[in-house]
């Protein structure tokens, strides 16, 4: 025996009544917060400084060792002085350089840094020089120099018994002595 039924038009709705975790209902459609925001009880809210979130997040994650990170992907954009940005991490700059928080910069002539993670370079002390960049130590001035130019090593004053000639300290001839005022 056959049963005939009158066709019924079924009505489907595309509107959601509830959404999956980390999504919210907006005009009947489930949506997620964009990157750089998180789902709060009041809707999407922006992540604070030093935090970030990816899509579908209910919280912002901390950029643990950075000063500033991209709120949409977590890439570090600024580290502490003495460090440089290396995507998701802050790494110490090598000796011979200093870090401004974004990149490592070589120490200039006449300066040095002898430790990794330096925030600045140190000028050579009196009696020492360096004539190259990115150096980790200064060199003692030439023999018989009391002091020299920090950038070149050229003598600027001599020990007693020597004269300054063409940026070098030359010992006086036997039986002579240098003029203490002019060093000649």
SS (H, E, C) the chain: CCCCCCCCCCCCCCCCCCCCCCEEEECCEEEECCCCEEEECCEEEECCCCEECCCCCCCCEECCCCCEECCCCCCEEECCCCEEEECCEEEECCCCEEECCCCEEECCCCEECCCCCCCCCEECCCCEECCCCCCCCCEECCCCEEEECCCCCCEEEECCCEEEECCEEEECCCCCCCCCCCCC
CATH number for the segment(s) 13-63: 2.10.50
pLDDT digits (tens, 9 = 90+) for 4-30: 444 444 444 555 567 878 788 888 888
13-63 against 79-140: fold identical: yes
Claim: this prediction has a pTM higher than 0.75: no
Class of 79-140 in CATH: mainly beta
Domain segments of the chain: what residues? Answer: 13-63, 79-140, 141-184
> What percent of the chain stands above pLDDT 70?
85
With a cut of 80, say whether residue 135 has pLDDT above it.
yes
Render pLDDT for 21-77 as a digit per residue (tens, 0 to 9). Answer: 878 888 888 888 888 888 888 888 888 888 888 777 778 888 777 788 888 888 888
């Amino acid at each position: 025996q056959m049963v005939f039924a009158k066709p019924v038009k079924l009505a489907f709705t595309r509107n959601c009544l509830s959404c999956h975790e980390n999504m919210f209902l907006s005009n009947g459609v489930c949506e997620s917060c964009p990157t750089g925001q998180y789902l709060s009880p009041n809707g999407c809210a922006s992540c604070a400084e030093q935090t970030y979130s990816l899509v579908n997040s209910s919280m912002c994650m901390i950029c643990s060792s950075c000063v500033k990170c991209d709120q949409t992907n977590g890439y570090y954009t600024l580290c502490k002085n003495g460090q440089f940005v290396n995507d998701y991490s802050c790494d110490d700059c090598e000796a011979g350089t200093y870090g401004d928080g974004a990149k490592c910069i070589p120490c200039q002539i006449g300066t040095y840094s002898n430790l990794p993670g330096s925030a600045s370079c140190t000028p050579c002390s009196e009696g020492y020089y360096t004539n190259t960049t990115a150096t980790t130590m200064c060199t003692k001035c030439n023999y018989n120099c009391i002091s020299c130019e920090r950038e070149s090593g050229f003598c600027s004053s001599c020990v007693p018994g020597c004269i300054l000639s063409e940026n070098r300290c030359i010992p006086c001839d036997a039986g002579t002595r240098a003029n203490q005022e002019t060093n000649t």
